Amino acid sequence: MSKEKQIAVGVVGLGSMGLGMAQTLAGKGFETLGFDLSGERKALAKKSGVIAAGSIAAVFERSKFLVFSLPTAKDVAGVVNDHLDMLKSRKDDRVIIIDTSTSEPDVSRDLAATLAKIGHGFLDAPVSGGPSGAASGKLTMMIGGAEEDVALARPVIEAMAAKALHVGPSGAGNVAKLVNNLLAAAHMITTKEGLKLAFSAGLDPEAALRVLNAASGRSMMSEVHFPTWIMSNTFDSGFSMGLMRKDVRLARELAARTGARLPIADLVAELWTGSTDLDDSDDFTRMGAFQTSN
């Protein structure tokens, strides 16, 4: 048995991202335990060789590394704090938590400090790449935390991510992700408006998009999201309006706490939160749709 096959990794949260990461880890030979409140998600994971755990406690008890994929910072903190006693009982067996959720820098810093005191590690390691990246092990991961913990977690990180960037101490990964998603939110709107202007002026939006992607106006939104999910009217990227609204709100709150004046970001946030015709459950790519009529 290889060294990787002896490593037990627990995945807490088997949503669109967590399920793909769990399946990837199991496929690459890790002993992978998965937990989700949904029995359906656990059943899907089990089909891919993931061990369906009956409780989060069972995942904490058996895993050397824990991968979180949870909706909010409150959820992340709740899971950790609820299992501190179990982690204290493993003080001679260092556990590393890899939190891939888009969380809050201050929460990550506090959790890292708490866990360091009892001999364990915490990495804020949010990801980019969507469900397809999670399922293929080709995510981009931006990591905040202690260098020694990154080194210990490297085999697990490299199994999930094609690009893993250690950007600084605890909280730094969350900051980087919020900046990234704020720009993605802005690019979605500016690309939409650019294509709408092209159409209004008599240029085919598909032709305009080809120009953008061959010139300096391109972005991940124009290169991937518009041709794949928006121009095709499929709107099924796997990332919801609610999640993007949350990330834009968190970025705006971070700007307020740090004193950064971001007038364009303020407008972007207002546009995302003010789009009352779109529900939080809608795919976020619907924000890029525009009428091809004047």
Which of 64, 177, 192, 246 does the annotation list as catalytic? 177
- Give the β-pairing of 8-12 and 161-168: unpaired
Q: Which two tokens stand for residue 101?
A: 């959720």
The CA distance from 266 to 198, in Å, is 26
Token digits of residue 158:
């490299």
Q: Give the closest residue to 38 by CA, choosing from 9, 74, 16, 13.
A: 13
Question: Which residues are within 8 A (CB) of 256 and not within 5 positions of it... i.e. 6 or more apart?
Answer: none
**β 96-99/8-12 pair status:** unpaired
| DSSP one-letter code for 100 | -
Please indicate whether residue 64 is annotated as part of the active site. Answer: no
Strand partners, 128: 140
Which two structure tokens, joined as six digits, stand for 128? 């980019």
Rounded to whole angstroms, what are the CA distances from 14 to 7, 25, 83, 281?
19, 13, 19, 17
- Which amino acid appears at position 34 of this protein? G
Give 224's Cβ-side CA count (13 Å radius): 11
Site of tokens 């998603």: 181
d(CA 75, CA 68): 10
Q: Give strand pairing partners of 143.
A: 166
Residues noted as catalytic? 177
